[in-house]
Every structure is written in structure tokens, then in C-alpha cells.
Amino acid sequence: MKTRYTDDVLQGHQVITRLDVDELPMGCHRFWFRPQENGIGQSWHLPVVVYRGEQTGNAPKVMITAGVHGDELNGVITAQNIIQHLAEQSVVGTVVIVPTVNVSGMLMHTRDFIMSDPDASPTNLNRIFPGNPEGDAAQRYIASIWYDLLAHNADIAIDLHTQTRGAAYPLYVFADYRIPQTVKMARLMNPDCIFDDPGDDGVLETVWNRSGIPSITVEVGAGKVLQPDMIARSVDGVINILKSEGVLEGDTSQPQHECYEGKKIFTVRATLGGFALPKVEIGDQVEMGQLVAVQYDSFGDEIQRYHAPTSGYVLSVNLDPMREPGTLLVRLIQ
């Protein structure tokens, strides 16, 4: 099936309901992709930018997505900066960038997709790929994005995220080590750490990999916090991958940061409600039993101490001190 154009033009850009990059001429193309209508009969619109360059025999199609979670903005800004960078470059092959997937969540300043159905709960979109065209609004939304925008337009894929609001990550990559191409891509990002990720059902990275399209998930720091240095590193990493794939000219850069690679994740969670202060920082190497957080009640009295369940690399800490029972305090990778 070819690109489906509507009669609508929004802010000077054509509105489409399906994209086929193979039929586009060389150049930069900007569209609004319409997956479905919302509860008042208006349409969600996702910005899509396609750079279509010279099509050599091995010219790849690269898909870059961001904003699957609505409160993860560093990834969105990273994607926008990549758009700006590529505008000044000569591209070989095709690069497709979708910088804001979860429009509903972004507008509501929340991680999840918010449906207007009064019986529907907020939905984590990165647990329901590839969606279901006969399901609820969130399932249908994702099904349209997957089948009409993403699935047939990529040879490799990069999905940009951050930690959720109230916590932080370093520059951190999920990669399935059973797929050599994903490991190569992960290391080319020059991250602080990489997790050997076999993948979970419903996650975009997993669905890509199971579809034969090597994919990585890149975590760009903290949720709902602008971190220019982290964004710049992420842009450099994606450009590094594009150079490695022959999409852009130039040599790939060598790692500038020591990278920790691990296979197991351990999360220290609050057992009480109160105000928790981390006693470690991202990137620290801790030993089993080391103090990692102290929690206080509303009067400022100490109520709980938390210790590392194992040795490992500090992958995440809470930024928001107010913690309910069961919420993240510190996450380790080993």
C-alpha cells in the first residue's frame, strides 16, 4: 500500500494516514500523521520528518522515535535536534523521525496515554505494541502507528526515552545481546551503561527485534527535566550510528565514557511512606550492604535505612524525595 494522503493541510504540512517512504522522492518531507480521532471527534496528529537521500544498494532505512511516554522530554528534544542536524547534511538512504508519539500523554504531562472513555484506565503505550485495531482507544492508536507508520519503513530502529518523572538515569541503552547489530548500535551510542535486554512483550524495541528489525532503547537521563548535556551526548550517539551505517559521511567517534555492561537489574523500593534521600549517585559502584538511602517522616525523624541487596553500578536514583511504599529509591545493574 502507498502513502495515504488526506485533503487536510495542518500548519502548512500535508496530513497523512499511512506512510510509505519508498515512494517519496529525494529531499526532506514533513507530514502530520493521523492515527485516529479522539473523544470529541478531532484527530490526534503526530509530526513525521523523512530525509530521503540517494538510494544505493545497501542504503538503510533508519527509524527514530521519541515521546512514547509523555513525560520523557529529553528524548523528544534529542529527536528534534537530530532533525535540525540532518537538515544540513547529505543523507544516503532514508531517516524517519517521529519525535512525539504519545500526544495525549504529553498534553496531560503524564507518562501514559489518557483515554476519554470513563471506564478506561491510563495506558502505558510501551507495553501494548503492536496494538490491536479492534481493541480500546489506546490499542487502536498504537496499531495505527505500528502498521501504517512504523513497521514497513525501517531496517534499524532507535527509540528514545528517559527515566519517568521523579527519577533519573545516566545515558543508558537497552540492547538484546542475542542480536549482534543491536549490541553494535548500543556501543556506538557511547553510553554510560548498557543492559543486556532480552525484551518484554509489548515494548516497541522488542516488537522491532522480533520483526527482524534490530532496535535499541536509549534512556536520556531524567523525566520532565531538560538536560542539555545529556541531549547533546544522545544526538552525538545517534549520529555515530548513522555514520556507521553509511547514512552520513565521516568516521565514527571513539567512546568518551567508560561503559558498564550488565545483565541483571536490582531495585531498592521504599517499604514505608515518607521523604527519602539517596546516599549514592548515578555511576557509583556499591558493595552489598552499603547504605543507599535514608527515609524520614513528616517531622524529619529518621524512619528507615535502605542498603544495597548486591554489589553493582548505580543505575537510577529518585529525584522526588516523597516516596510511597513500593516506589523506586535506587536501581542497580550488575
**Cα–Cα separations (whole angstroms), residue 160 to 67, 72, 172:** 7, 9, 10
Three cell numbers written together for 116: 476519554
Region 10-18: what's the mean pLDDT? 96
Q: What is the mean pLDDT of the chain?
A: 96
Confidence of residue 118 (pLDDT cuts 50, 70, 90): confident
How far apart are alpha carbons 323 and 111 in whole angstroms?
18
Region 2-8: what's the mean pLDDT? 94
The yes-or-no verdict on residue 155 having pLDDT over 80 is yes
The DSSP string of 10-67 is ETTEEEEEE--GGGSPSEEEEEEE---B-TTS-B--EEEEEEE-B--TT--EEEEEE-
Confidence of residue 278 (pLDDT cuts 50, 70, 90): very high
The yes-or-no verdict on residue 209 having pLDDT over 90 is yes
Confidence of residue 257 (pLDDT cuts 50, 70, 90): confident
